[in-house]
Structure 1
Amino acid sequence: ATSLSVLIASRTSVVQANLRVSTYSTLPLPPFRSLTAIDVDVRRSHVFFSDTVLKKIFRCTINGTNLTEVVATGIDVVEDIAVDWLAGNLYWTDYGLETIEVVSLAAGHRMVLFSENITNPRAIEVDPREGVRYLFWSDWGQNPRIERSSLDGTGRTTLVTQKLSWPNALTVDYPNRRLYFADARMDFVEFCNYDGSGRHQVFANDHFLRHPHSLTIYEDW
């Protein structure tokens, strides 16, 4: 197959990189100001992304059509977004407002999940599967850490606090129930189990890995 691709928020555009044949293309969208976060709802073939200058979150189809504004007011610097493809909810971290929020994509209902003990929220991920239903996020503020809660914001708990400086990126290994994370100051990639146990270093090299901004995982990639 030649359809294995990664979508990248590249400041003014969304770039599609085909990993099979090493080609790149840009989705046919108008130019943006400062795209930062991106996530994909594969089930509905939707792409979500945020612009930190326009202060909006957008959605389009996976081929770049039907561009719409999902969140157009009340946000500041959205650092990362995560879509719950089962319930149809979108989560995001707001560095400027120091909040973590969620919106229902169908009904438009919006709620602040966390606004206390949040200083520099960065990465966010979800595992919405039955029997799991977890929300994960990182904070590289006064007390760098990685946290977890249920998707409704209950059961907040801290997973990782040691040997962290700028936990800048998260991604979920769904089959193995592992959380991968990267530190942009210490230049490493590690993973742990969903309860924070079993921490293991995957890669650490400041020559090849400099200020990692985002992570994703697919099978053995």
Structure 2
Amino acid sequence: MRAHAKRADPLECNVSVVRFSRRLWFGLLAAWSLLGCAAGFAASPDWTVDRLMQSLSRQTSGQATFVERKYLAVLDQPVESSGELRFRAPDRLEKITLKPKPESLVLEGNTVTVNRGKKQYVVQLSDYREVAAFVDSIRATLAGDRATLERTYALHLAGSPDNWTLTLLPRDPRMAELVLRIDIKGSRGLLREIEIRQADGDRSVMEIAAAGGTQ
């Protein structure tokens, strides 16, 4: 029997703004890697954030696998999960967690649908201003809209086309209360790792591989 969908109560489904934000960040940013091999960089001295944005804005659809590790202050060992990511332009993302417990998170438009066990929760991003700000900024990144992205984050690009790191530092004080920094690592048009450092000291690292294990 199909699980009955209901409007999410943050306390009932035990998902905080930080957790929602982190999940959506990981999922949307991971969409960069799905077709990245088709949009490479030329190794030249004028390689800049603008060139990175231009390349990453060419995504249409794709699929990848992920392994996510959460390092929490209250635990001695990281919490690990793994599964699949699916992206379809312009705004549909599926994060399918297979281990340790099955769960799906689908973002489409303004709606987030979470299936966990026999329960389904539906969340409207407009009800969570901080999360909506996260999503809007990531969509701006996927669209190559640097101006919109920089309204929320200061961008710092380091490394070379073959081994680059893009660091995002929140400008908005409300955002800074949740997230300290986000480090996105990749090689040419391929995203390989996303690390989110929260203001409370916890951090999460997601490693991403193209479906089928190719990089």
Q: Is the structural similarity TM-score above 0.5?
A: no
| Structure with the bigger percentage of helix | 2
- Structure with greater strand share of residues: 1
Query: Per chain length, whose mean CA-contact separation is higher, i.e. which structure has more relative contact order (CA < 8 Å, sep 6+)?
Result: 2
Q: Give the TM-score normalised by the residue count of structure 2.
A: 0.30
